[in-house]
Amino acid sequence: MTLSVVGGGNMGAALVAGIIAEGAVSADAIVVVEASEERRAVLADLLPGVTVSADIVAAESAVIAVKPPGVADVAKAVAAAGVDRVVSIAAGVTTATIRAAIREAADGRPVDVARAMPNTPAMVGRGVTAICADADSDPGVLDWAERLLGAVGIVERIDESLFDAVTAVTGSGPAYVFAFAEALIEAARSVGLPADRVPDMVSELLLGSATLLAERGDAAALRVAVTSPGGTTAAGLGEFERLGLDAVIAAAVVAARDRGRELGAG
């Protein structure tokens, strides 16, 4: 096989679907390794042409898409199976941890190691993924990782020392957006808007605003453009300022970054 994806959860499956759709690797050259028999049946229907296996098999390269506690064992297993390069998408697991696991199993054979931090919008092809590689790897491993992960969104090369920070922003960021959406939905209902119609209205509001931001690229200018002095938007934004929205967001990012550091140290 050209590519082994170990872990067939939502993110792993979305990545495989994107890779195939973008033509990065053909379906018949991919194996998805998944422990759950029930999930394997789902994957077989979801990813036609892809081999679905309960066991790790020989492959040229591997994506580790399991939960963080299982990464080291999977890294050992794929190295023993002969992979030449590996990228892990598990949060908090450093390249040093992956390298140590691979060194035990590769028996002196060179294996390139990359680490990635995607986010959940990758499941709809609009992800943001940070990537890095360790110092013992050929720099070309980043080109390979970028081709794969670029199938589900944009990819940024970020120094590993900043991975906890990027996790706190783009990794955790979707949850911040969803929390804002929840609050806006409840606020809309509280002022009398139809309860059954508000979720669609808020979803489209966020999608339209994000699209506008992507096209124009200047959040501050867009905010100013939609805010008439003394108008309704200014009144609403005034409450954000009074209640300290900026400070709340900054505190959330710092807390998430610090928790990432704690998890990595553990």
Same domain, 190 and 80: no
Q: How confident is the model at residue 37 (pLDDT cuts 50, 70, 90)?
A: very high
pLDDT digits (tens, 9 = 90+) for 143-182: 999 999 999 999 999 999 999 999 999 999 999 999 999 9
C-alpha to C-alpha distance for 169 and 165, rounded to whole angstroms: 6
C-alpha to C-alpha distance for 105 and 140, rounded to whole angstroms: 22
Cβ neighbour number for residue 199 with a 10 Å cutoff: 15
Q: Is 229 exposed, middle or buried (0-12, 13-18, 19+ CB in 10 A)?
A: exposed
Give me the domain span that covers residue 194. Answer: 171-265
Q: How confident is the model at residue 23 (pLDDT cuts 50, 70, 90)?
A: confident
| CATH number of the domain bearing residue 135 | 3.40.50.720
> In angstroms, how far is the first alpha carbon of the chain from the final one?
34
Overall average pLDDT of the 101-119 stretch: 89
pLDDT number for residue 266: 60
- Please count the structural domains in the chain: 2
Domain boundary residue, one of 117, 133, 163: 163
Same domain, 11 and 139: yes
Write down the mean pLDDT value for the chain.
Answer: 92
